[in-house]
Amino acid sequence: MRKLIVLFLLLAGCASQPAQLDTAKDARNSASVHTELGAGYYGRGQYAVAIQELKDAVKADPTYAQAYNVLGLVYMTLKEDDEAGQNFEHAYSLSPKDSDINNNYGWFLCQTHREVQSIRHFLTAVANPLYSTPEKAYLNAGICSEKMGEQSNAEKYYRDALQIQPSIPQANLGLARIYFGEKQYGLARRYLSRYMLMGEPTAESLWLGVRIEHALGGSDLESDYETQLKHRFPESREAQQLNDGKFQ
């Protein structure tokens, strides 16, 4: 009789394991679906609905890192930094080698004046050979390095990004800024020209173009940049600097 009881308990334990696995799988699938929906609503600017979907994802599976990752993005967009930070930190704690999480968390840190910390996360992101968009992390590392005044590192990261994807407007503009600051005006012109071919002119890029061409001795291109800056962005700080003749 005792042997029969032991055998029954063993069989019951074996039967419960597949059931537990199925429950965990269902929870993860539910969390994944809610996260995808939340990400879609986030992309369309429907932030309240996105947050609800993502909270449902977390409720279904509290260990699903991507739900916290996207929640961090939503709260960062809403400038709710405390909530964003908590969610990014939790996502990172659950999946510290995930490239998307490291890139997004790094960008949040950069935007909240923790640039030094951000670089570590960007480099973790690109260290993963399976990361499908390492150029994004390299670009972000370049932007944050430039913010810190580390021009040499910024140049390297921008170049790394362009080596993977040559048509990144922000990386070309970043290199144009760096080379202008180093008085390498020919290189600055080259990268700004690339930016202008692929990116929408901004007050910053047009004013940079004016100053580059001015430093190179003036040209019709300088006049064109000036005209665009005055007409497109008449109230901008850059237009005021042009009117004041502050070319450096």
Whether 41 shows a pLDDT value over 60: the answer reads yes
Residue 180 lies in a domain: no
Burial class of 8 by CB neighbour count within 10 A (0 to 12, 13 to 18, 19+): exposed
pLDDT band at residue 248 using 50, 70 and 90 as cut-offs: low
Domain count, the chain: 1
User: Considering the chain, what is the average pLDDT of its residues?
Assistant: 91
Q: Which CATH number do you get for residue 63?
A: 1.25.40.10
pLDDT surpassing 70 at residue 20: no
Domain-located, residue 30: yes
Give this prediction's pTM. 0.86
Q: For residue 236, what are its two tokens? A: 């901008």
Stretch 104-114: mean pLDDT: 97
Residue 22 pLDDT level (bands cut at 50, 70, 90): low
User: 232 in a domain, yes or no?
Assistant: no
Is residue 11 pLDDT above 70, yes or no?
A: no
Q: Residue 124 domain-assigned?
A: no
Q: For residue range 144-199, list pLDDT tens digits in order.
A: 999 999 999 999 999 999 999 999 999 999 999 999 999 999 999 999 999 999 98
- According to the model, what pLDDT value does residue 18 have? 61
Confidence bin at 219 (pLDDT 50/70/90): confident
Tokens 């991507």 correspond to: 66
CA separation for the pair 76, 43 (Å, rounded): 13
pLDDT, position 7: 40
| Domain assignment present for 32 | yes
- Choice among 48-57, 66-75, 238-247 with the minimum mean pLDDT: 238-247
User: Which 8-state DSSP code applies to residue 233?
Assistant: -
Class of residue 230 by CB neighbours under 10 A (exposed 0-12, middle 13-18, buried 19+): middle
9 has pLDDT over 70 = no
- Structural domain for 63, as ranges: 23-95
pLDDT: is 32 or 245 the higher one?
32
Minimum mean pLDDT range among 49-53, 141-145, 216-220: 216-220
Q: Which amino acid is at 2?
A: R
Cα–Cα distance measured from residue 31 to residue 15, given in angstroms and rounded to the nearest whole number: 25
Specify if 43 maps to a domain.
yes
Beta carbons of 108 and 92 less than 8 angstroms apart: no
- Whether residue 179 is contained in a domain is answered as no
The whole-number pLDDT of residue 75 equals 98
The per-residue pLDDT for 10 is 45
Q: Is residue 91 part of a domain?
A: yes
Would the CA dihedral through 199, 202, 204, 207 be positive or negative? positive
